[in-house]
Structures are given as C-alpha cells and as structure tokens.
A = this chain, B = another copy of it.
Amino acid sequence: MADIQAIAKQFTDFYYTTFDTNRQGLQSLYRDHSMMTWEGSPIQGAAAIVEKITSLPFTKVQHKVTTLDAQPSSPTIPSLIVSVTGLLVIDDSENPLQFSQIFQLIPDGSSYYVYNDIFRLNYG
C-alpha cells in the first residue's frame, strides 16, 4: 500500500495547490467521461467540471487536508480510490468549513486522470 499512499499524497498535493492558485489548471486532470458530484449535483466532463470549479464565488481559497486514505480500486488495473477529509478556508474566514472529497484515479501513461470526483461540505 506504500506506493498507493505516495501516489495519493502526490496527487492531492498537486490538486489542492492548483485549486487554490489556478483553478483553470485542473482541467488537464479530467477527461470527457469524468464525473463530478458537487454538493449532490452531477456534472459530466472536464470542461463542465472546471467551469463549475472556476465559477465558485470566492476569490481566495485554501484546502487543508486533515486525513488522506487510499486503496487500489481494481484487481486488474492500477487505479485507486482516494478519500480526503479536511478544512476549506474561504476568503480568509476564521471559520473554516469541513469537507470530504473522493477521487478515483485511473492510470494514463505515466500519470493519472480523475474518473470519479465526489465533493461534500460537512456541516456540524
């Protein structure tokens, strides 16, 4: 599981750094058949997913990862499920929001793309 954890860490470091500094840059991580469920709303395809992400109404955001778990998601290909819980600091708010996010990453050459993405805010 060591490699899986390292891949998950590398992916989430890149994903959230890109989200927090240049949301448009996330588009290369998705494909036309990628799925996102954002707060219960389904969105299909890289263009629509990144349009959603870039339209979120805040100017400054910071993801702080609290827990990161990963497992192989298939017995036949080296895909993985990544589960993140963490805090979202929006526009320097002093009250960060808890979130949970799940990705399924599919190998693509020497890299991975996001096939599944489910995001939820967790209200206490």
Is B85's CB under 8 angstroms from A116's CB?
no
Interface residues of A in 78-124 (CB under 8 A from B): 81, 83, 85, 98, 100, 102, 104, 115-116, 118, 120, 122-124
Partner of A118, one of B69, B98, B124: B69
Q: Is A35 at the interface (CB under 8 A from chain B)? A: yes
Query: How big is the A interface, by class?
Result: 20 to 34
Number of copies: 2
Q: Is A27 at the interface (CB under 8 A from chain B)? A: no
Is A81's CB under 8 angstroms from B100's CB?
no
Is B100's CB under 8 angstroms from A85's CB?
yes
Chain B residues positioned under 8 Å from A67 (CB to CB):
40, 120
Is A72's CB under 8 angstroms from B35's CB?
yes
Is B81's CB under 8 angstroms from A118's CB?
yes
Question: Could you list some 18 contacts between A and B, CB below 8 A?
Answer: A1-B42, A35-B71, A35-B72, A37-B69, A37-B71, A42-B71, A66-B123, A67-B120, A73-B104, A73-B115, A73-B116, A81-B102, A81-B104, A83-B100, A83-B118, A98-B98, A98-B122, A122-B122
